[in-house]
Amino acid sequence: MAFLVVVWAVGWGLFVRRGWQLYRWLRLGRNEDRTHGLGRRIRDELVVYLGQRKLFKRPYLVRGIAHALIFWGFLIITVGTVDLFLSGVFGVRLPGTGTALFVWTVDAFAVAVTAAIVLALVRRVFFPPPRMHVALDGYLILGGIAFLMVTLLVFESAGLVAGVAADGFAEPPFARALAGALPLGRATASTLYGLAWFGHLVGVAAFAAYLPQSKHLHIFTTLPNVFFRSERPRGALDLIDRIEERETIGAGSVRDLSWKQLLDGYTCTECGRCSDQCPALATGKPLDPQKIVLDIRDQLYREGAKLALPGGDRGTPPARWKPTKTEELWSCTTCAGCVEACPVTIEHIDKIVDMRRWLAMNEGDVPPEAQRALTNIERAGNPWGQPPDTRADWARDPQGGSTTLGVPTFAERPDAEWLYFVGCAASFDRRNQKVARAVVEVLRAADVPFAILGVEETCNGDPARRIGNEYLWQMQAQRNIETFKTYGVKKVITSCPHCFNTIANEYPQLGGAYEVVHVVQLVRRLVRDGKLRLVPEGGPRARGEGTPRASGSTEEKVAYHDPCYLGRHNRVYDEPRDVLDAIPGVERVEVTPHHRERGFCCGAGGGRMWMEEKVGQRVNHRRMDQILAVLDRNGPPGAQTERERGRARFARGGPSPQGHSRGVPPSDGRKWVASGCPFCLIMLDEAVGAKDVQERIKPIDLMELVAARVRPPGAQTEARSDEVEHLGRPSGSPAREVGKT
Amino acid sequence: MKVWAIVERSQAGIRRVSLEVAAKAKDLGDATVLEVTGVERYSSLAAVSALANEAAAGAPDLILIGATPTGRDLGARLAARLGWAYASEATGVSVEGSNAIVGRTMYAGKVRATVRAALPAVVSVRPGAFAIPGGAAEPQVKAVAADGRAERLAFQRFEPTAAASGRVPLAEARVVVSGGRGLRGPENWKMVEELAGLLGAALGASRAVTDAGWRPNEEQVGQTGRTVTPDLYIALGISGAIQHLAGMTSSKVIVAVNKDPEADIFKVADYGVVGDLFEFVPAFTEEVRKVKEKG
Amino acid sequence: MKILVCLKQTPDSTVRVKVAADGRSVDPSGVTWAISPYDEYAVEMALERKDADPTTTVAVVTVGPARSKDALRQALAMGCDEATLVDGAAAETLEGLAVARALAKVVDEAKPDLVLCGRQASDDDQGLVGPALAELLGWPHVATVTKFAPAEAGPPGGTNGIDVWKEVEGGHEVWRASGAAVLTVQKSEKEPRYPSLPGIMKAKKKEIPEKDAGALGIEANAATLETVKMEPPPARGGGRILKDGDMKQTAAELVRLLREEAKVL
C-alpha cells in the first residue's frame, strides 16, 4: 500500500515536473490575449473537445468514431480509476460509483476501448496511413491504454469470482461474462484481483509519468488548446499594432511565437490529417503543415531550457532551424485545408505567416518575384505595376469618351448605396475585366444603386499581408479606409474573395467596419427576393419563363470550384451553389471529394500568385486534373483523341478557341468550371493552356454565367455578346430551338 | 561645319552603326572619320585622351559616335573632358546656327524629345537611326593613336558567357527574336533559337522569363534590360507589359505571336498572329527557311 | 572601404509619363517618385559589398529638389549608412555636367574609396554623369558593371584594389582598379533588397544634411542642352492581325508581308 502511494507520488511527481517545465517553456512565447468571447469558447469546448466534432470529418469517419470511443471511455474510466485508488488505499468510494449506470458504462467502455485499441494497433501494424507519424511512442500509448483496460476488466471479473464485490453495488455485465469464461478458482481470482488492482494503478502512474514526454500529452493540452482557439474570423490574420515602434516583427525564434502557437505544438497528435489536405505537399513542395507544427515543438524542446535561463538569449531564427524553414514557408498558399482538418484546432497559417513576417519585414528576405509585386503595390497600388491612372479603364469605352457601361464613380454619384470594390485583378487583368463588366451588368439589371472608386481605389493589401509584409498591408488598408470614409461608404460588394475577406474580416482591425458581401451572395439574395430574374441563355429572344428545363443532354455541365477564401476561410459554400442552381440550362457538378471544406486550392493564395513554382507538379494543374476527372466521369466522354483535336483545330482554321468570336461553333462537348475568384480563374486558365485542353473545358466566373442570363434593361444583348463569353451557344441558335417543343 | 565621326570595329569590320554615323556626318558638313587605334581593347582614359588631343588640334564643331555601350561611355567622358554639351542616343541630328538639334527619347522611351545642344557638342547616335546610302564605299578612316599607359585600370581577363558563344548581341541587332512566358518553360527555347539562327537575329526575352531563370539576364529587353531598335522585332508569347514595351517599341517592324487576342503586345504590333505559338513558330520557321534558301 | 553611391530620383517605372501643357516638359502631377532603377542596382551592389564585409560604409548622395530626400531615405532604409542632399534653387535645373561638378565637390569632402552610380537615369536616359564625374575627379571609370570584388591575392587588410566585371558582347571583361574609381552599374548580383521595417523606421529618423549647390560653387550655367519639345512616341498599332487560314497559310502570308510590304526580310 505504501509502495503504491510512493509509486503514485513518483509517477505523478514526474508528471507535474515535466508539466511545469513545459509550462515554463510555454511562457517563453509572446503574450496574446485569448480571453474574449467566453461563451463561444465554452461552447467550442463542449462541441469540439467533449463532442469530438472535428474527428468525424470524411474520410476519417470510422477512425473518428474509434477515437471518440477511446476518448469518452478514457474520461469515464478515469473516474473509475480515481475511485479504484481511493477505495483501495483509503477505503473510500466516490458517490455514484456503485450505481448500475456507472458500473455498466465503465464496463461497456472498457470493452469498447479495448476493441478500438485492437483496431488501431492492427491498422498501425498492417495498414499504416501514408502521412501518419508511426513511431514507438504510438505503440507505447496504445499498449499502455490496452494494459489499463485489460487490468480493469480482469480486476472486475476476478473480483466477481472472488466474491469481493461490495454490497449494494451493481454488477458489471461484461466483467461477469468474462468471469464466466475464465477458469479461476476463488483463491487465484483473489490474487488476480489484487494484482490487477495494483497493476492498474501502477500503470496509471507510469502513464502519468510518460504522458508529458509523448504526443499523448494532447489529451491534456487539447482542453486549453480548444478553449483558447482564435476567435478571429478564420480568414483574418492577427494585427501587429504599433508596428512602427517595434524592434523586431514576426517570429524570429520560438520566443516570438505566441504561447498559444507553442501550445499548438504540444497538442499536435501527429495524426497527419492536415498533411492530407495540403495542396503544396500533394504536389511535391517541401511544405508539410504537420511538420511545421512539430518542428516548432521540437525547436522549443531543444532550446527551451536554454532560453528559460535568466538573461537567456533570443533563440534561433527559423531560417536556421534544422531543417531550415524558408522554402517550406514560401510554399504555403494559406488555403486553410490544414486548419479545417485539424481535430485539435491548431492554427497552422498563423505560424507560417508570423515566420514570413520575420523574413519579410526584419530581413527583407522575400522571393524576388514576390518582392516585385510588393514594390508594385507600394508604388502603383496594384501588384502588376500597371499605371494607376488606368485602373478604371475596364469601365471605359475603348474608343475614348465616357463610360458606355454607365459605371459611376462615387465622385459622380455620392449617394450610391453600395460600393463595388473592383479589385486589382478585375481592373487590370484582361480576362477578369470581363468579369467586372459582367458584375456591372448584373447589378444594373437588378437596379442596385452602386458606384466604384475608379482611380481612387487601391490594392486592398491582401497579397502584402499574406506574404508577411504587414506594414504594407496596413498602409494600403488605411488608404482605402480613408477613401471609404470620404465617401461615407457603408456597404461593399466585391467580386474577389481576397478583397472580400480582407475588407470584411481584417479592415475592422484598423477601424473600417462595413457590410461586405461577395457579389454571388448578393445575387442569391436578389434572385430569392425576385429582384433579379435569370432566363435561359440568349436573353429575351429566347422563350423565357415558360421554357422547360432542358433534358440532361443539352444542359451544360458546370463544375463548381470552391475558392479557398470564399469557402474555407469564410464558410460560403452554399450561396454560390444556389446561384449556380438557379441558372437555367446549367447542371452543377461537384468535384468530389475535393469540394466544400475539402476543396483543393488553385495555388494562387498566400501571395503565391506572384511566386514561381519550382518543384513538383503545379498546384493549379493538379486541380485541373481533379476537375477534368470528375467532368469526364459525369458525362459523355467529350475528350477526343489528340489527333482528332488537332484535325478539328486545323479544320476550323485556327488555333485554340480561347475566346471565340461569332461564327465559330465551339460547343463540341466542352464543359465548364465556374468559380467566384479572379485568381482561380487565372490559374485555371493557365492550367487549361498548359495542358492544352481548351476543347474539353473552359473556366468561367459565376458572374459571367449570370450576366448571360439576366434580363437586360433595354436591348443591349448585341453589345453584351461581344464582351461577355456565352456558354457554348452563339446567340440565336439552340436556346430557341429548345423552347420549341 | 566640321563634323567628326568616331567609328568602332567588331570582329567583322567597321560596325554598321559607325557606317550610319559616318554617312550622317557627311550629310551634315565637312566630315572626318576617325578611329582610336593602338589599344587592344577599349579603355576610356586612353581613348578619351587621344581624341581630346585630336579635337584640341582639329577643333570640330560636332563629334558623332554610335551609341553602343562603348560609344556612350566614350562620348560622355570625352564631352566632359572637352567641357562640351552631350546628348545621347540621338534618333535625329541637324544643325541650326550654333546649335545641334537632336531628336532623342527620354523616360525610358516613353517620351520623344527634341533638344537643342549648344555647339560644340558630342552626340551619340542610336543604331538604325540613319541610313547608309546604298552602294556607299567604306569611308576613309583616320587613325588616332591612343596610349594604353593613359589607362589607370589593368585589364585582367575576358570571361565569356557560356550561352553567348556565336550569338548576335542585342545592342546592335537588326533582327531580334524574343520569347516570353507563353513559351512555358526553358526547355522550349529550341525553336526560338532556331528561328533566330535562321534570321541572324539576337535573342531577347521578357523580364518574367529572365527573372524566372529561364534565360540569362543579358537577353532581357525592357526598361531595366536592354532597349533595342532593330528593323524587325518578333515577340513570341510575350504579353506586352509596359516595361517590356519600353524596351522595343522603337523597333521598325514588330511581329507578335500570342494566344490571347487581347494581349497588350498587339497594340504595338504591326503584324499580329493570334494563335498557338507552338504551332505557328515551326510553320513560320519553315517558311523563312524556304525563303532564305531561295536567296 | 567607403563607398559613395550617387543616385537620382525619377518617376517610378509604373508611371505613365505625360507631357505637360508647355509641350517641352513632363507633367509632374500624380507622379510616384522612386530611385532611378539603375541607381537602385548601384545601391544594392554597394550593400552587397557591405554584407560581405561589414566594415564597409555606404553613403548616398543626390542632387535635386527637396522631394529627393525620399529617395535618400529609401536608400537608408535599404541599409546605407548616411545620406546627403545637394539642393538649392540651382539643383533642380542642373544638367549633367553641372551635376557632376556638384558631386565632385561632395566626393572631395567625403573621400570615398569607390563611387558607384547607375549607368543612366531613367528620366533623361543620358548616361553622362558617371563618366563626367570620373573625368572631373581625374579618376578611372568602368561602365556597365555587374559585379566587383576585392582583388584576389591581396594582403589581408591591405588594399590591392578591386576587380570589376564589365559586361561586353559575349561575356565580361575583368579590370583591376588599384586606386579610387567610378563604376557605372548595369545590374547587381541580386535584386535590390526590399527595405526591412526597422530599416524604414530608422531611416525616417535619420538626419540628412543638405548642401546648397550654389554654396558648392555650382551655378546654373546657361544650359548647354535645352529641351525644346516633348511629345509622346508615335502611336503604334493599326497593325494587322492575321488569323485566317491555318498555321501554314498564316506563316506563309506573314513571310510574304515581311518581305514585300515591310521589307525587313
Report all structural domains of chain B as residue ranges with CATH numbers, in order of start. Answer: 2-150 (3.40.50.620), 162-294 (3.40.50.1220)
Dist CA A516 CA C74 (whole Å): 36
Question: A549 or A676, which is more confident?
Answer: A676
Task: Verify whether the Cβ–Cβ distance A656 to B242 is below 8 Å.
Answer: no
Of the listed ranges A263-272, A518-527, C88-97, C162-171, the least confidently predicted one is: C88-97
Q: What is the mean pLDDT of chain A?
A: 82
Select the residue of B241, B242, B261 nearest A659 (Cβ to Cβ): B261
Provide the residue range defining the domain that includes C255.
234-265
Which residues, listed in sequence order, are joined to residue A493 by a DSSP beta bridge? A420, A517
**In this predicted structure, which of A128-132, A227-231, A648-652 has the lowest mean pLDDT?**
A648-652
B contacts of A658 (beta carbons < 8 Å): 259-261
Residues 6+ apart with CB under 8 A from A271: A132, A343
pLDDT over 70 (residue B247): yes
Phi/psi at B257 (5° precision): -120, 120
Q: Is the pLDDT of residue A538 over 70?
A: no
| Distance between CA atoms of residues B204 and A164, nearest Å | 93
Chains touching C (at least 3 CB pairs under 8 A) are A, B
Chain C hits for A371, CB-CB cut-off 8 Å, are: 191, 194
For residue A493, give Cα distances in angstroms to A124, A416, A448, A465, C205. 50, 12, 11, 21, 40
Are residue C120 and residue C187 in the same domain, yes or no? yes
pLDDT at residue C221, as a whole number = 65
Least CB-CB distance to B76: which of C128, C168, C262?
Answer: C128
**Phi-psi category of A54—alpha, beta or left, where left has phi over 0 and alpha has psi -120 to 50?**
alpha
Q: How many CB atoms lie within 10 A of CB C96?
A: 26
Does residue B266 sit in helix, strand or coil?
Answer: helix
Element (H, E) at A721: helix A717-723
Q: State how many domains chain C has.
A: 2
Q: What is the pLDDT of residue A563?
A: 97
Q: Please report the sign of the dihedral spanned by the C-alpha atoms of residue C41, residue C42, residue C48, residue C51.
A: negative
Residue C222 confidence (pLDDT):
63
Contact residues, chain B, for A659 at CB < 8 Å = 260-262
> For C150-157, what is the mean pLDDT?
67
Q: Cα distance from A611 to chain C (closest Cα, Å)?
A: 15
Nearest residue of B to residue A687, measured between CA atoms: B184
Task: Tell me the pairing of strands C114-118 and C141-150.
Answer: unpaired
Q: Does residue A553 register a pLDDT over 60?
A: no
Single-letter amino acid, residue A307: L
Same domain? For C149 and C20 the reply is yes
What is the model's pLDDT at position A149? 86
Counted across chains A and B, CB pairs separated by less than 8 A come out at 34
- Band the pLDDT of B10: cuts 50, 70, 90: confident
A656 vs C: CB within 8 A: no
State the burial class of residue C206 (Cβ atoms within 10 Å of its Cβ: 0-12, 13-18, 19+): middle
Kindly state whether residue C109 falls inside one of the protein's structural domains.
yes
**For C93, phi and psi rounded to 5 degrees?**
-105, 5
Inter-chain residue contact B116 with C228, CB threshold 8 Å: yes
Chain A and chain C share a number of CB contacts under 8 A equal to 65
**pLDDT tens column, A230-250:** 988 999 999 998 998 888 899
Which residues touch A399 (CB under 8 Å, ≥6 apart)?
Answer: none
C221 touches chain A (CB under 8 A): no
C-alpha A261/C-alpha A230 separation (Å) is 10
Peptide bond into A128 cis (omega under 30): no
Kindly state whether residues C208 and C265 are assigned to the same domain: no
ipTM metric: 0.90
Kindly provide the residue ranges of all beta strands, DSSP E only, lying in A118-167, ordered along the sequence: none
- Which one of B212, B242, B276 has the shortest CB-CB distance to A656? B276
Chain A residues bordering chain B (beta-carbon distance below 8 Å) = 368-369, 372, 384-387, 430-431, 612, 654-656, 658-659, 689-690
Average pLDDT over residues B241-247: 79
Q: Which residues of chain B make contact with C258, given a CB cutoff of 8 A?
A: 232, 253, 255, 271
Lowest mean pLDDT among A142-151, A254-263, A391-400, B129-138: A391-400
- Per DSSP, helices labelled H in A211-347 are 218-227, 259-267, 273-277, 279-282, 289-308, 326-330, 337-341
Identify whether the C-beta of residue C30 lies closer than 8 Å to the C-beta of residue A391: no
Judge whether A254 and A76 are in contact, CB under 8 Å: no
Please tell me the least confidently modeled range out of A229-243, A542-556, B21-35: A542-556
Co-location of C199 and C238 in the same domain: no
pLDDT greater than 50 at residue C22? yes
pLDDT at B49 over 70: yes
- The confidence score (pLDDT) of residue C2 equals 96
Nearest CB among A372, A612, A655 relative to B259 is that of A655
* B266 neighbourhood in chain C, CB within 8 Å: 237, 239, 241
Number of Cβ atoms within 10 Å of the Cβ of C47: 22
Q: What is the Cα–Cα distance from B112 to C172, expressed in whole angstroms?
A: 32
| d(C-alpha A113, C-alpha A72), whole Å | 9
CA distance C75 to chain B (A): 19
Phi/psi zone of residue B105: left (φ > 0), alpha (ψ -120 to 50 degrees), beta?
A: beta
- A473 close to A462: Cβ distance less than 8 angstroms: yes
- Which domains are assigned to chain A? 33-227 (no CATH), 243-365 (1.10.1060), 374-635+667-739 (no CATH)
Mean pLDDT, chain C, as a whole number?
89
Selected residue with higher pLDDT from A307 and A397? A307
Q: Which of A244, A374, A388 sits opposite C194 (nearest CB)?
A: A374
Tell whether the model's pLDDT for residue A400 goes beyond 50: no
Test the B interface: residue of A612, A620, A664, A688 with most B CBs within 10 Å: A612
- pLDDT of amino acid A32: 87
H or E element, residue B21: helix B16-28
How far apart CA A452 and CA A698 sit, in angstroms, is 29
More confident residue, B93 or C216: B93
pLDDT at B174: 86
pLDDT tens digits along A366-387: 988 888 889 999 999 999 888 8
Distance (Å, rounded) from C-alpha B102 to C-alpha C74? 35
Residue B172 has pLDDT above 90, yes or no: no
CA distance A521 to chain B (A): 30
For residue C219, tell me if it sits in a domain: no
For residue C221, is it within any domain? Answer: no
| Contact: C131, B77; criterion CB under 8 Å | yes
At C180 the three-state DSSP class reads: coil
Lowest mean pLDDT among A307-316, A731-740, C143-152: A731-740
Nearest CB to C37; choose among B113, B224, B287: B224
Instruction: For residue A259, give the 3-state DSSP assignment.
Output: helix
Residue A141 binned pLDDT confidence (cut-offs 50, 70, 90)? confident
List, in sequence order, every beta strand (DSSP E) within A402-519. Answer: 418-421, 450-451, 491-494, 515-518
Same-domain check for residues C179 and C114: yes
Exposure string over A4-18, b if 16+ CB within 10 A, otherwise e: beebbeebeebbeeb
Q: From C13, which residue of chain A is nearest by alpha-carbon distance?
A: A385
**Alpha-carbon dihedral A452, A455, A456, A460, rounded to 10 degrees:** 80
Grid cell listed for A37? 468571447
CA proximity to C11, closest of A21, A363, B223 = B223
Of B259, B279, B280, the CB nearest to A689: B259
Q: Closest-CA residue in chain A for C77?
A: A364
Per the CB < 8 A criterion, the answer to whether A652 and A679 are in contact is no
CB nearest C174 (choices: B72, B111, B157): B157
What 3-state DSSP class applies to C26? strand
- Contacting chains of A (3 CB pairs or more, <8 Å) are B, C
Q: Given this model, what pLDDT does residue A194 score?
A: 82
Entry pTM = 0.85
Quickly state the pLDDT bin for A172 (edges 50, 70, 90).
confident
Same domain, C155 and C200: yes
Angle formed at CA B169 by CA B167 and CA B174, multiple of 5 degrees: 105
Average pLDDT over residues B140-146: 92
Q: What is the pLDDT of residue A552?
A: 37
Ramachandran sector of residue A419 (left: φ over 0; alpha: ψ -120 to 50; beta: rest) = beta
pLDDT-derived band at A636, boundaries 50, 70, 90: very low
pLDDT 10s digits, B179-208: 998 998 899 999 999 999 889 899 999 988
pLDDT score for C45: 97
Q: Is the same domain home to C258 and C188?
A: no
Candidate from B41, B272, B286 with C-beta closest to C239? B272
- Nearest partner of B254 among B176, B169, B183, judged by Cα: B176
Percent of chain A with pLDDT over 70: 86
Predicted pLDDT at A429: 86
| Residues C234-244: tens digit of each pLDDT | 777 678 888 76
Whether residue A240 lies within 8 A of chain C, CB to CB, comes out as no
Instruction: Enumerate residues 6+ apart whose C-beta is below 8 A from C88.
Output: C211, C212, C213, C214, C215
Least Cα distance to A534 among A515, A516, A547 occurs for A547
Residue of chain B whose Cα is closest to the Cα of C25: B113
Tens digit of each residue's pLDDT (9 = 90 or more) over A655-681: 333 333 222 223 456 789 999 999 999
- Identify whether residues C202 and C88 lie together within a single domain: yes
pLDDT tens-digit profile of A280-304? 999 999 999 999 999 999 999 998 8
Beta pairing, strands A515-518 & A491-494:
parallel
Residues C108 and C37 reside in one and the same domain: yes
For an interface test with C, give the residue of B16, B77, B151 to mutate (most C CBs within 10 A): B77
Highest mean pLDDT among A546-550, A673-677, A684-688: A673-677
Q: How far is C158 from chain A (nearest CA, A)?
A: 31
Does residue C218 sit within a domain?
A: no
Residue A397 scores a pLDDT above 80 = no
More reliable by pLDDT, B208 or A439: A439
Maximum average pLDDT range among A176-190, A438-452, A681-695? A438-452
Task: For residues C129 and C252, state if they share a domain.
Answer: no
C-alpha cell at B38: 593602338
Tell me: do C98 and C20 sit in the same domain: yes
Report chain A's terminal Cα–Cα distance, integer Å. 91
Give the C-alpha separation, C42 to C98, whole Å.
Answer: 21
**pLDDT at residue A724 greater than cutoff 60:** no
The pLDDT value recorded for residue A669 is: 64
Which residue shows C-alpha cell 505625360?
C18
For residue A311, with 0-12 CB atoms within 10 Å meaning exposed, 13-18 middle and 19 or more buried, which class applies?
Answer: exposed
Cβ distance of A386 and C243 shorter than 8 Å: no
Chain A residues inside the 8 Å CB shell of B276: 655-656
What does the pLDDT average to over C58-75?
A: 95
Residue contact A387–B211, C-beta within 8 A = no
- Residue A131's pLDDT band (cuts 50, 70, 90): low
Confidence of residue B269 (pLDDT cuts 50, 70, 90): very high
Question: Per-residue pLDDT for A26 more than 60?
Answer: yes
Spell out which chain B residues touch chain A, with contact meaning CB-CB distance below 8 angstroms.
184, 211-212, 241-243, 259-263, 274-276, 279-280
Mean pLDDT of the B108-113 span? 85
Task: Say yes or no: C265 and C134 in one domain.
Answer: no
Nearest by CB to C131, from B44, B105, B158: name it: B44
